[in-house]
């Protein structure tokens, strides 16, 4: 029987499909201390990905992110979804088709973003019922979680919730609106009462980063029933983005160090999306680990990278993974020899300019599209400052982090030859 330590208590992990099993697998992935432990985790899923890459001549990601809808019942400050059309959505039939395609090529995890995905919660429940061997999860503002929905989650087992919160009541309501914090806490209580292993999801920025990284906040999240957490560094995507919310190098390093120390001390898993490159082996976008489909059907490298050259209404998911843009993106990975500088948007901004140009991609942002050059210029100064700080941090990390990354680079080169390289040889 598998176990996880949750709030100092040893918890049994039921077999798949189960919401707690996802928390277990997430910890195994981000806590892998060697390439060997990475290869054998989760019923040898990495080996299966290599085989599927060879079989389909494409990088097959572990995770597919989908926006079922662009609609949202909130208008959060600094969120690009607030600019989106409220009418774009993927029909249930299209969602079902995408999940079916994903399962066929070996993708087993479907994460939903938006918009607010629970605007489509009845369709989500139908998908979970139909695709029992697939794990589903939603990044949600939590305002639409009620007793009835939680009962269905507990019954199905293969649906996970990641509840968005910004720190204190004042900090959460500052970005999300009056009264939202109390609704999130109420949703946590509902899920905890049913022994559902959910996660919190927090966007940290220049106004709340100390709260998000504090022991007090993280202790409270665990007390409320969170089995793990997601952290996202605020990214100024869109030409009208609020640059004042962007963390500087010192603020980002503060979060990285505090979170790392907390996770070690409490055996708790927090996925710090921009600061865990040394645990995830660098950038995972464009099919290397995940891929994103927005509510218009545009296939994007990740949920934050609003550029594409393909649409799911015009081609299959497999063909989209083989697109010129995605191929150019993967060819450029890793974008840095320091895994703490993994992202081509905020860490190596000249990287996003290069791959967008080589892949002939276009902006998919809704009301305020911007060129890759414009995005790069916004982030160049902070990226230069972060380079100095990130190099210092990486040198001070445990030796297994420093030794494993070069090993993984060799593995990644092998993976490229097995997928993109094999396809290119056949086309010659």
pLDDT range class, residue 346, cuts 50, 70, 90: very high
Helix, coil or strand: residue 365: coil
pLDDT over 70, % of the chain: 95
Compute how many other C-beta atoms are within 10 angstroms of the C-beta atom of residue 170.
Answer: 11
Measure the CA–CA gap between 415 and 412, rounded to whole angstroms.
5
- Read off the pLDDT of residues 5-19 as tens digits, 9 standing for 90 and up: 888 888 899 888 888
| Range name among 60-69, 85-94, 110-119, 244-253 with the lowest pLDDT average | 85-94
pLDDT range class, residue 78, cuts 50, 70, 90: low
Q: What is the mean pLDDT of residues 377-399?
A: 91
Environment class of 54 (CB within 10 Å of its CB; exposed 0-12, middle 13-18, buried 19+): middle
DSSP annotation string for 258-310: HHHHHHHHHT-EEEETTT-HHHHTS--TTTTSEEEE-TT-BEESBTTB-EES-
Statement: residue 2 has pLDDT above 60: yes
Question: 42: part of which helix (H) or strand (E)?
Answer: helix 35-56
Statement: residue 359 has pLDDT above 60: yes
Compute how many other C-beta atoms are within 10 angstroms of the C-beta atom of residue 8.
Answer: 8
Measure the CA–CA gap between 156 and 143, rounded to whole angstroms.
21
pLDDT range class, residue 132, cuts 50, 70, 90: very high
Nearest alpha carbon to residue 302 among 85, 67, 102: 67
Statement: residue 83 has pLDDT above 60: no
Q: What is the mean pLDDT of residues 400-409?
A: 73
Measure the CA–CA gap between 231 and 206, rounded to whole angstroms.
14
pLDDT range class, residue 401, cuts 50, 70, 90: low
pTM over 0.85: yes
Question: Is the bond preceding residue 100 a cis peptide, omega within 30 degrees?
Answer: no
- Read off the pLDDT of residues 30-71 as tens digits, 9 standing for 90 and up: 777 677 777 777 778 888 888 999 999 999 999 999 999 999
Mean pLDDT rounded to a whole number for the chain: 90
Task: Identify which has the larger pLDDT, 428 or 159.
Answer: 159
Q: What is the mean pLDDT of residues 221-250?
A: 91
Compute how many other C-beta atoms are within 10 angstroms of the C-beta atom of residue 194.
Answer: 15
- Read off the pLDDT of residues 246-302 as tens digits, 9 standing for 90 and up: 999 999 999 999 999 999 999 999 999 898 887 777 899 999 999 999 999 999 999
Record the tokens describing residue 259, joined without a space. 């979170």
- Read off the pLDDT of residues 144-167 as tens digits, 9 standing for 90 and up: 999 999 999 999 999 999 999 999
Statement: residue 170 has pLDDT above 80: yes
pLDDT of residue 400: 57
**Would you say 29 and 41 are in contact if contact means Cβ atoms under 8 Å apart?**
yes
Locate tokens 């890793």: which residue?
334
Buried b or exposed e, range 102-139, using 16+ CB within 10 angstroms? beebbbbbbbbbbbbbbbbbebbbebbeebeebbbbbb
pLDDT of residue 81: 57
Question: Is the bond preceding residue 17 a cis peptide, omega within 30 degrees?
Answer: yes
Environment class of 169 (CB within 10 Å of its CB; exposed 0-12, middle 13-18, buried 19+): middle
pLDDT range class, residue 77, cuts 50, 70, 90: low
């Amino acid at each position: 029987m598998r176990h996880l330590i949750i709030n100092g208590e040893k918890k049994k992990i039921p077999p798949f499909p189960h919401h707690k099993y996802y928390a277990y697998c997430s910890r195994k992935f981000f806590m892998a201390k060697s390439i060997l432990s990475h290869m054998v985790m989760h019923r040898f899923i990495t080996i299966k990905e290599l085989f599927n890459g060879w079989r389909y001549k494409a990088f097959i990601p572990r995770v597919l992110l989908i926006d079922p809808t662009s609609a949202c019942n909130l208008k959060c400050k600094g969120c690009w979804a607030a600019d989106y059309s409220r009418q774009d959505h993927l029909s249930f039939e299209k969602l079902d088709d995408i999940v079916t395609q994903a399962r066929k090529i070996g993708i087993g995890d479907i994460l939903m973003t938006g918009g607010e995905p629970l605007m489509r919660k009845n369709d989500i429940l139908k998908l979970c019922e139909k695709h029992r061997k697939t794990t589903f999860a939603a990044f949600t503002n939590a305002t639409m979680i009620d007793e009835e929905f939680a009962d269905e989650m507990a019954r199905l087992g293969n649906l996970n919730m990641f509840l968005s919160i910004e720190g204190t009541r004042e900090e959460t309501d500052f970005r999300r609106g009056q009264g939202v914090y109390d609704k999130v806490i109420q949703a946590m209580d509902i899920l905890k009462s049913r022994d559902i292993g959910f996660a919190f999801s927090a966007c940290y920025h220049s106004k709340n980063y100390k709260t998000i990284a504090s022991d007090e906040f993280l202790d409270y999240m665990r007390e409320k029933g969170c089995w793990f957490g997601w952290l996202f560094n605020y990214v100024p995507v869109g030409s009208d983005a609020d640059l004042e919310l962007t963390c500087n190098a010192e603020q980002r390093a503060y979060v990285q160090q505090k979170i790392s120390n907390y996770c070690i001390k409490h055996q708790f898993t927090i996925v710090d999306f921009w600061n865990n490159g040394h645990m995830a082996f660098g950038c995972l976008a464009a099919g290397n680990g995940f891929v994103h489909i927005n509510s218009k059907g545009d296939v994007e490298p990740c949920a934050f990278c609003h550029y594409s050259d393909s649409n799911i209404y015009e081609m299959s998911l497999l063909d989209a993974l083989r697109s010129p843009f995605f191929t150019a993106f993967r060819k450029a990975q890793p974008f840095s020899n320091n895994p703490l500088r993994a992202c081509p948007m905020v860490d190596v901004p000249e990287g996003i300019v290069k791959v967008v140009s080589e892949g002939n991609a276009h902006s998919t942002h809704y009301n305020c599209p911007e060129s890759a050059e414009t995005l790069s210029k916004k982030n160049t100064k902070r990226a230069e400052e972060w380079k100095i700080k990130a190099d210092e941090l990486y040198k001070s990390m445990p030796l297994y982090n420093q030794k494993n990354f070069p090993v993984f680079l060799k593995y990644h080169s092998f993976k490229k030859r097995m997928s993109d390289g094999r396809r290119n040889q056949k086309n010659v």
